[in-house]
């Protein structure tokens, strides 16, 4: 046994000696043990201008997965490319491409493979807007960890997620991709996602991938909710509403940031030096790199700030955009721009350095290849399924439950299950489906059959399509309702109605769906439970009076259907609360919980609505049990700026079912130099409470972190005066002294 080993060692020694003789030496950047900083500098010194330009460029691979196309792409690919958006599903192909970068290029710089893993890879979790309603950041982090593992094993090292754009206009389709309207909630989910994707360490191990904070910034404020449009945003709003989640994500260690498409008050994000360089890189000390959005550098011409592609490249690079997604503008123009002294070598090197650093941190130089294990061990593992199922359940919000019609009573023997969503798994997936396959997604019908397993008979009718003029199936829906004790309607939106480039001018359910609800109500008088699957808040005022219960189930992903069935049957006690306000009508937009106070709060009301209240506020959500909140206790009623205030409240589950309750702690500051929102969420905590049990929730108020607010330069202001702490229906005054 030993002989071959001695022989092999001998050969290696000889090979080593001969390479020494020839003066070969492993370059420092290839030394796994050298510090990353030194490796980056060593590599940078060796790179030609062309090699640098390639590092700053990102293209796609496999967008069209026709085998002929893949072969063509393989043959035309320049393996010196910095990054590829990898649409393939196959680590073997990915490794084949990587091998070319490692073995066929002069310096062997690995390619960074990115992809949009927004709410799961093969195991789909609920859309982020739903996940926010769970208020369970620990669970969201686990979901991102699973997404990272599945992505890594499919060949991806970098996801373009989390999307942390605050969205207060549900007409905007991309509201589904973020965590709702609130800066604090979004910040907490930003941190959880970054840690979930990347793990805790600076050097990312093989089960994690790099995260992207996107889209930087104020993209959710697009005019009229239309995608890609202008956003008029004040510096004050930037600092208090739109920047905090990005700051939280940067502090959590996010490796990359994606600039947004939108023009921000005259300066598109892609060339916004103030935001990209002054704030992000200089003030916040962000060491990762900024990637543009898809084709966004070229689109600067359409936005009216660059006359040609040279100007696009120059403005974007010099403002701080490091990597060019897709349009090839850096690769085509930077050489010429350098010659003309319109960009600096220093800025180019800075961009390359940032990209190389992330590649080293990901371990790509030392472990460029994805381990190839059978797909059956890569995806949809039992742990992944458990987390997907729990998160789906926790993200659903019970909006109405008249006379406790839910959970379905044991006296119910038959149910009519009606609606276009009943047998349609595809539209439970939501926008950005990662690598998920519809065949892995449960259908509501199957989940109900399993849940009620012969105890309740189900009478199915489709009733109508998502949006059409055809009412020919209304009759069979009415018949199904007539022969059943209760009716459950499964309505909502198709996948493509939210997500990118999917804005809607009217956020009510399409007329045919509203008419179906009314027809069933009028023609049968049976109790109606409405289950909604959608990617945005809906305006429900037209139909809310016609239904006895509403469950907002969102687009819940692979295991969402059994979570719906579990909530309907009572196996699961709903615990979600809205992370976004539901307006009464589309015309009421914008309406969100932390608006500023009006000069005449009792007036200025829409005449046709008679109220300025929405249908459901942020934070709203019912449960099957009851909670009693004790009196909130404060450790003091007056503190100095350097002291802490501790607030506690005992919450008792006074019902008969175990539950999970989220306590939302708000602050208001009624007299400030710069007016403050009516109230601002500053802390939340979700705890399980068994029936009959009392638990204590706690909020530590550190004035600098909780009570200070930014001015329009981002400077933090902490003012003495009166503050209010609000929790449930209690409001307590306390004083802050100098």
Catalytic (active-site) positions: 293
- Is 442 an interacting residue with respect to ligand BGC (CB under 6 A)? no
**Structure tokens that stand for 281 in this block:** 């890189």
φ, ψ for residue 491 (rounded to 5)?
A: -125, 180
Nearer to ligand BGC, 110 or 162 (CB): 162
Task: Kindly tell me which of 20 and 302 has the beta carbon lying closer to ligand BGC.
Answer: 302
Site string for ligand BGC, 162-201 (x = CB under 6 A): ----------------------------------------
* Shortest distance, position 163 Cβ to ligand BGC, whole Å: 7
Contact 211, 255 (CB under 8 A): yes
- Which of 476, 474, 461 lies closest to 422, judged by CA? 461
Q: Is 160 in the site for ligand BGC (CB under 6 A)?
A: yes
Binding of ligand BGC at residue 294 (CB under 6 A)? yes
Query: Does residue 255 bind ligand BGC (CB under 6 A)?
Result: no
Token duo for residue 337: 């721009």
x-marked contacts with ligand BGC along 60-99 as a string, rule CB under 6 A: -------------------------x--------------
The residue (of 227 and 613) whose beta carbon lies closer to ligand BGC is 227
By beta-carbon proximity to ligand BGC, the closer residue of 160 and 189 is: 160
Contacts of residue 194, defined as CB under 8 A and 6 or more positions apart, other chains included, come to 162, 211, 213, 249, 252, 253, 254
User: Regarding beta strands 638-640 and 730-737, do their DSSP bridges make them parallel or antiparallel, or are they unpaired?
Assistant: parallel
Q: What is the nearest approach in angstroms of ligand BGC to the Cβ of residue 609?
A: 34
Pairing of strands 721-727, 528-533: unpaired
CB of 654 to ligand BGC, least distance (A): 45
641: tokens are 């700026």
d(CA 116, CA 121): 9
Per-residue mark of binding to ligand BGC, 347-366 (x: CB under 6 A): --------------------
Give dist(CA 126, CA 603) in Å, integer: 39
Query: Following CA atoms 468, 567, 127, 506 in sequence, which dihedral angle do they give, to the nearest 10 degrees?
Result: 30
Q: Is the dihedral of CA 521, 525, 526, 528 positive or negative?
A: positive
327 binds ligand BGC (CB under 6 A): no
Angstrom distance (rounded) from CA 640 to CA 735: 8
Residue nearest ligand BGC (C-beta atom): 160
Residue 145: in which H helix or E strand, if any?
Answer: helix 137-153
Query: Please, is 76 exposed, middle or buried when counting C-beta atoms within 10 Å of its C-beta (0-12, 13-18, 19+)?
Result: exposed
Report if residue 214 touches ligand BGC, rule: CB under 6 A.
Answer: yes
CA pair distance 581, 592, nearest whole angstrom: 6
Work out how close the CB of 374 gets to ligand BGC at its nearest, in angstroms, rounded to a whole number: 28
- Could you tell me if 391 and 131 are in contact, meaning their C-beta atoms sit under 8 angstroms apart? yes
Burial bucket for residue 37 (CB in 10 Å: 0-12, 13-18, 19+): exposed
Residue 132, Cβ density class (10 Å: 0-12 exposed, 13-18 middle, ≥19 buried): buried
Q: How far is the CB of 578 from ligand BGC (least distance, A)?
A: 24
Closest contact distance (angstroms) between CB of 294 and ligand BGC is 4
Question: Given the DSSP bridges, would you call strands 397-401 and 549-552 parallel, antiparallel or unpaired?
Answer: antiparallel
CB of 628 to ligand BGC, least distance (A): 44
Cβ nearer to ligand BGC, comparing 180 with 710 = 180
Q: Answer yes or no whether residue 500 interacts with ligand BGC by CB under 6 A.
A: yes
Specify whether the CB–CB gap between 583 and 614 falls below 8 A.
yes
Helix (H, G, I), strand (E, B) or coil at 101: helix
* Nearest distance, CB of residue 63 and ligand BGC, angstroms: 10
Interface pick for ligand BGC out of 116, 240, 442, 594 (rule CB under 6 A): 116
Shortest distance, CB of residue 501 to ligand BGC, whole angstroms?
8
Cβ atoms of 120 and 558 within 8 Å: the answer is: yes
Q: How far apart are CA 410 and CA 452, in angstroms?
A: 11
- 91: closest CA among 155, 151, 149, 152? 155
Smaller CB separation from ligand BGC, 294 or 666: 294
Q: In the complex with ligand BGC, which residue's Cβ is closer, 214 or 676? A: 214
- Interface size with ligand BGC, residues (CB under 6 A): 7
- In 3-state terms, what secondary structure has residue 381? coil
Q: Which is nearer to ligand BGC, 294 or 620 (CB)?
A: 294
Q: How far is the CB of 241 from ligand BGC (least distance, A)?
A: 20
Which of the residues 632 through 651 are near ligand BGC (CB under 6 A)?
none
Could you tell me the CA-to-CA distances from 575 to 191, 586, 689 in Å, in that order?
22, 27, 11
Which CB sits closer to ligand BGC, 73 or 116? 116
Measured between alpha carbons, how far is residue 236 from residues 258, 418, 525, 591, 714 in Å? 22, 48, 52, 19, 8
How far, in Å, CA of 664 to CA of 618, rounded?
10
- For residues 59 and 160, which CB has a smaller minimum distance to ligand BGC in the complex? 160
Q: Cα-Cα-Cα-Cα dihedral of 521, 522, 523, 528, to 10°?
A: 10
Query: Three-state SS string across 22-50, please?
Result: CCCCCCHHHCCCCCHHHHHHHHHHHCCHH
Cβ of residue 92: shortest distance to ligand BGC, in angstroms? Answer: 23
Instruction: Output 160 or 289, the one with its CB closest to ligand BGC.
Output: 160
Residue placing its CB nearer to ligand BGC in the complex, 324 or 500: 500
CB of 156 to ligand BGC, least distance (A): 12
Binding site for ligand BGC (CB under 6 A): 85, 116, 160, 214, 293-294, 500
């Amino acid at each position: 046994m030993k002989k071959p080993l001695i022989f092999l060692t001998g050969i290696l020694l000889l090979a080593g000696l001969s390479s020494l003789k020839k003066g070969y030496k492993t370059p420092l950047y290839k030394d796994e043990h050298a510090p990353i900083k030194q490796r980056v500098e060593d590599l940078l010194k060796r790179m030609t201008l062309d090699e640098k330009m390639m590092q700053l460029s990102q293209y796609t691979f496999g967008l069209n997965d026709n085998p002929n196309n893949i072969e063509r792409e393989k043959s035309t690919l320049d393996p010196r490319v910095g990054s590829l958006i990898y649409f393939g599903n196959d680590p073997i192909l990915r490794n084949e491409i990587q091998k070319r970068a490692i073995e066929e290029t002069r310096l062997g710089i690995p390619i960074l493979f990115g992809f949009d893993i927004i709410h799961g890879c093969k195991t789909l979790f609920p859309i982020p807007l739903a996940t926010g309603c769970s208020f369970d950041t620990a669970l969201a982090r686990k979901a991102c960890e699973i997404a990272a593992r599945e992505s890594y094993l499919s060949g991806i090292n970098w996801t373009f997620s989390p999307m942390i754009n605050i969205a207060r206009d549900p007409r905007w389709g991309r509201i589904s991709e973020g965590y709702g309207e609130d800066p604090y909630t979004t910040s907490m989910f930003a941190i959880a996602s970054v840690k979930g994707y990347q793990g805790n360490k600076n050097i990312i191990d093989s089960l994690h991938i790099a995260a992207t904070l996107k889209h930087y910034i104020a993209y959710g404020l697009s005019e009229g909710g239309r995608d890609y449009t202008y956003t008029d945003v004040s510096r004050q709003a930037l600092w208090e509403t739109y920047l905090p989640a990005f700051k939280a994500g940067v502090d959590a260690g996010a490796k990359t940031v994606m600039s947004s498409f939108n023009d921000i008050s005259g300066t598109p994000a892609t060339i916004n030096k103030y935001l990209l360089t002054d704030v992000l890189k200089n003030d916040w000390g962000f060491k990762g790199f900024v990637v543009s959005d898809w084709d966004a550098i070229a689109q600067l011409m359409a936005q009216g700030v660059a006359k040609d592609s040279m100007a696009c490249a120059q403005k974007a690079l010099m403002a701080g955009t490091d990597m060019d997604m897709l349009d090839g503008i850096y690769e085509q123009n930077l050489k010429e721009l350098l010659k003309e002294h319109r960009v600096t070598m220093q800025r180019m090197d800075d961009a390359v350095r940032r990209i190389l650093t992330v590649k080293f941190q990901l371990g790509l130089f030392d472990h460029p290849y994805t381990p190839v294990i059978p797909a059956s061990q890569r995806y949809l593992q039992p742990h992944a399924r458990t987390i997907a199922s729990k998160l789906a359940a926790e993200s659903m919000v019970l909006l109405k439950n008249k006379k406790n019609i839910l959970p379905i009573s044991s006296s119910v023997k038959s149910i009519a299950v009606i609606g276009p969503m009943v047998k349609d798994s595809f539209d439970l997936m939501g926008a950005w489906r990662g690598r998920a396959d519809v065949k892995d997604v449960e259908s509501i019908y199957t989940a109900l059959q399993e849940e009620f397993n012969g105890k309740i008979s189900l009478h199915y009718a489709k009733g109508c399509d998502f949006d059409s003029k055809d009412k020919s199936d209304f009759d069979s829906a009415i018949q199904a309702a007539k022969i059943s004790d209760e009716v459950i309607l499964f309505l909502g939106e198709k996948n493509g109605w939210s997500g990118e480039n999917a804005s809607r001018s009217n956020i009510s359910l399409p007329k045919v769906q509203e008419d179906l609800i009314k027809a069933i109500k009028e023609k049968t008088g049976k109790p109606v439970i409405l289950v909604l699957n959608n990617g945005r808040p809906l305006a429900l005022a037209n139909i809310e009076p016609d239904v006895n219960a509403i469950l907002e189930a969102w687009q819940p992903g692979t295991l969402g259907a059994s979570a719906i069935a579990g909530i309907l049957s009572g196996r699961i006690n709903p615990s979600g609360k809205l992370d976004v306000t539901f307006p009464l009508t589309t015309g009421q937009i914008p309406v969100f919980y932390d608006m500023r106070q009006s000069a005449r709060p009792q007036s200025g009301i829409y005449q046709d609505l008679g109220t300025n209240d929405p249908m459901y506020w942020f934070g709203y959500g019912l449960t099957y049990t009851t909670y009693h909140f004790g009196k909130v206790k404060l450790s003091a009623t007056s503190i100095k700026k350097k002291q802490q205030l501790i607030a506690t409240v005992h919450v008792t589950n006074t019902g008969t079912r175990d539950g999970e309750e989220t306590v939302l702690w708000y602050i208001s500051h009624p007299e400030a130099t710069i007016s403050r929102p009516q109230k601002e969420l500053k802390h939340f905590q979700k705890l399980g409470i068994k029936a009959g049990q009392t638990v204590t929730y706690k909020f530590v108020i550190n004035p600098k972190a909780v009570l200070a607010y930014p001015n329009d330069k981002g400077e933090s202001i902490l003012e003495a005066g009166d503050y209010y702490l609000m929790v449930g229906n209690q409001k307590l005054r306390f004083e802050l002294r100098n």
